[in-house]
């Protein structure tokens, strides 16, 4: 446990477990336009695509704020080398399967998906949710496609570095801080 006090909301969080203030992160996601895109929206189903797709559950959509709060508190950040973006991954937010998968050419889902993914999770413009499979994700971590956050660059600090930054929220340099000194990275990727 390494308590960090958020520069924005003054809420405390555990810097060894959470790279970003969970309260501010959940609010930021919740306020993102197009967080739920049509392709993954249960309101648009059923329709048939010629490619596989996942949709989130109507329950997740109804409980979106609570789901995002749970994800921000428990989930983990990864750098996705294939897509060159930050993703945030949470297994079974609120204890539930967040989505289902629909095979190509079919209208109906045929399997449940147990992870909530937030793609481009550090972006106030592009962040969007979808559901995926935890076993596949674990395999992608082993394969080096998904790179977990490392430790803070400050000697002796065991906190997680923030996405796109070299240091934790506590040791962030001024140059790493966004407008208003928010706990958000000014630079994307690495
Ligand atoms: Zn905060
Ligand atoms: Zn640190």
Q: How confident is the model over 20-75, as pLDDT tens digits?
A: 999 999 999 999 999 999 889 888 766 788 889 899 999 999 999 999 999 999 99
Q: What is the 109 CA–ligand 2 centroid distance (Å)?
A: 44
Region of 135 please: left (phi>0), alpha (psi -120 to 50) or beta: alpha
The set of residues, in sequence order, having a beta carbon less than 8 Å from that of 62 and lying 6+ positions away, is none
CA distance 141 to 108: 29
| Dihedrals phi, psi of 117, to nearest 5 degrees | -105, 140
Nearest ligand to the C-alpha of residue 162?
2
The set of residues, in sequence order, having a beta carbon less than 8 Å from that of 69 and lying 6+ positions away, is 22, 23, 26
pTM for the whole structure: 0.88
**Confidence class for position 179, pLDDT limits 50, 70, 90:** very low
- Per the CB < 8 A criterion, the answer to whether 114 and 138 are in contact is no
Q: What is the 182 CA–ligand 1 centroid distance (Å)?
A: 8
Nearest ligand to the C-alpha of residue 172?
2
Checking if the pLDDT of 101 tops 50, the result is yes
Q: What pLDDT was estimated at residue 120?
A: 97
- Which residues neighbour ligand 1 (ion) by CB within 5 Å? 6, 8-9, 11, 21, 23-24
Nearest ligand to the C-alpha of residue 184?
1
Q: What is the 2 CA–ligand 1 centroid distance (Å)?
A: 15
- Per the CB < 8 A criterion, the answer to whether 107 and 46 are in contact is yes
Both tokens assigned to 93: 């937010």
Q: Closest by alpha carbon to 19, among 68, 80, 88?
A: 88
CA distance 34 to 50: 23
Both tokens assigned to 15: 């810097």
Nearest ligand to the C-alpha of residue 182?
1
**Confidence class for position 175, pLDDT limits 50, 70, 90:** low
Q: What pLDDT was estimated at residue 142?
A: 96
CB atoms within 10 A of CB 58: 12
Q: What is the 34 CA–ligand 1 centroid distance (Å)?
A: 22
């Amino acid at each position: 446990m390494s308590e960090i006090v958020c520069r924005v909301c003054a809420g405390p969080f555990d810097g060894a477990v959470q790279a970003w203030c969970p309260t501010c992160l959940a609010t930021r996601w919740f306020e993102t336009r197009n967080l739920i895109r049509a392709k993954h929206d249960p309101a648009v189903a059923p329709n048939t695509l010629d490619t596989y797709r996942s949709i989130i559950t109507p329950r997740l959509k109804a409980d979106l704020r609570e789901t995002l709060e749970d994800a921000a508190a428990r989930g983990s950040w990864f750098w996705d080398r294939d897509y060159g973006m930050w993703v945030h991954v949470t297994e079974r937010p609120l204890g539930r399967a967040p989505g289902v998968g629909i095979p190509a050419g079919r209208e109906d889902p045929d399997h449940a998906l147990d992870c909530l993914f937030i793609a481009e999770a550090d972006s106030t413009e592009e962040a969007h949710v979808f559901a995926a499979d935890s076993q596949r994700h674990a395999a992608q971590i082993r394969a080096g496609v998904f790179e977990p956050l490392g430790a803070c660059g400050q000697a002796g600090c065991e906190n997680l570095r923030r996405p796109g930054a070299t240091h934790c929220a506590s040791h962030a340099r001024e140059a790493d801080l966004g407008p208003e000194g928010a706990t958000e990275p000014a630079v994307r990727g690495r």
